Amino acid sequence: MKDDSEKSEAAARPRVCIKGKKTKTSKTKGMKNISMNDDIKKPEAENVDMFLRADNRQFYGMTEKEESRYRRQFEFVCMGDPQFGMGDLSKEKEFSRLAVEFINKRKNRIKFVVICGDQTHNLEGWWSKGNVEDGRKKRLHELKAFKEVYSKLDRDIPLVCVCGNHDVGNKPNTTTIQMYKKQFGDDYFSFWCSGVKFIVLNSQIIQGLELSNELSVAHEKWADEEFESKHGDPVHTVAMCHIPPFCWDFEENETNFNWPIKKREMWLDKMLKAKVSKVYCSHYHRRAGGKYKGLEVVVTGAVGTHIRTKTVPKELKKSKLDAYNFKLSYEGFEGTETNEKTSGLMVVTVDKRGLSEEWMNIAQIKKEMISRK
């Protein structure tokens, strides 16, 4: 017998992946308005749920077999922390709705969208003052709102969902991961796009669990195999996760916003050995970034609620590291806001030379859409 929460969740989620035989598609007449995504397998071809394409540690339609060859320059959109329910839900929904509309208008340029974690805010009782029943109700409401907004994304543009701490918990377990997988598919996996290999990690396992934990062992074993794989000869190798290894500097203090220092070094060295060029993350609800031996960590701001940072005290500005540590500390926290000038997304351009990012806040997005009408 399922308990009430399981029944509610089953009712809330869409029908999952019915993988049938491949269907034949008719040839398109002419070559006008060809989308950059015409070479990516469409989910409706095999009745695959758009939120459940991450399966068996791969991503439907963006596997090595389908996407290991470099074709041309492309763009993808990187967002973080829609986190429906953290702040003003009506504004959070509106900002995501505007982001989806903006992306759809660029469908001929954007190959995929990645959300680097925290799709919604509530999970069990952890952010509902210990009230599990209340947390479950809020989560279902937030999931419904999230999927209503993001289901409007053009079906030619794959949506890659990365798990965050509000999705699987600060210390994930098999129960929370299964809850996540029912809604969004695998919690870690790899995919390819036009010759670039992307490795999606579960950063909550890295940050919150002991190395000896069963989930940690399985995650690290899989990651090592992905990092060490010699197949495909990628143009670039890129990692993605929710919590950054560090936000500003490799030597910054350990906080909720980064990985423990020993794990930080271990995992970054694995990435360097695998020739990972960049790591895309979120979680900090502000933009940040830094480098470790040439490996760049890129932290996107939130598309949802933004965290404000106090001005760094004069005496701490003498040391960059002291200034960074202040920005990461509770003392540096100045509240939150859901503001079109501070929330936004990154448009990432990829070519053979590398990856470059352009930050666009919601105000800029609105302005561009008005100018295109």
Residue-number span of the structural domain to which 270 is assigned: 39-372
- Residue 54's φ and ψ, nearest 5 degrees, are -85, 105
**Is 8 contained in some domain?**
no
- The domain spanning residue 208 has which CATH number? 3.60.21.10
Q: Is the dihedral of CA 115, 120, 122, 127 positive or negative?
A: positive
User: Looking at residue 40, what is its pLDDT?
Assistant: 62
Q: Quick check: is 119 in a domain?
A: yes
Both structure tokens of 320: 């960059």
DSSP letters along 70-104, please? --S-EEEEEEB---BTSS-HHHHHHHHHHHHHHHH
Successive 10-residue mean pLDDT values, the chain, 373 residues: 42 39 35 51 69 97 95 97 97 98 95 98 88 94 98 96 98 97 98 97 98 98 94 92 98 98 98 97 98 98 98 96 98 97 98 97 93 73
1 within a domain of the structure (yes/no): no
Q: Does residue 157 fall inside a structural domain?
A: yes
- Is residue 23 situated within a structural domain? no
pLDDT score at 27: 37
Evaluate whether residue 148 is within a structural domain. Answer: yes
In a domain, 34, yes or no: no
CA–CA gap between residue 303 and residue 338 (Å, rounded)? 9
Nearest of 13, 1, 38, 318 to residue 184 by alpha carbon: 13
Q: Torsion-angle region of residue 47: left (phi > 0), alpha (psi -120 to 50) or beta?
A: left
22 found inside a domain: no
- The H or E element that residue 279 is part of is strand 276-281
Placement of tokens 């680097």 in the chain: 116
The set of residues, in sequence order, having a beta carbon less than 8 Å from that of 26 and lying 6+ positions away, is none
Question: What pLDDT does 46 receive?
Answer: 60
- State if pTM tops 0.95: no
Q: How far is CA 348 from CA 105, 126, 203, 204, 257, in A?
A: 16, 34, 21, 24, 23
The total of structural domains in the chain comes to 1
The H-assigned helical ranges of the chain are 4-12, 64-67, 89-105, 132-150, 165-168, 174-184, 203-208, 214-228, 261-273, 320-328, 362-372
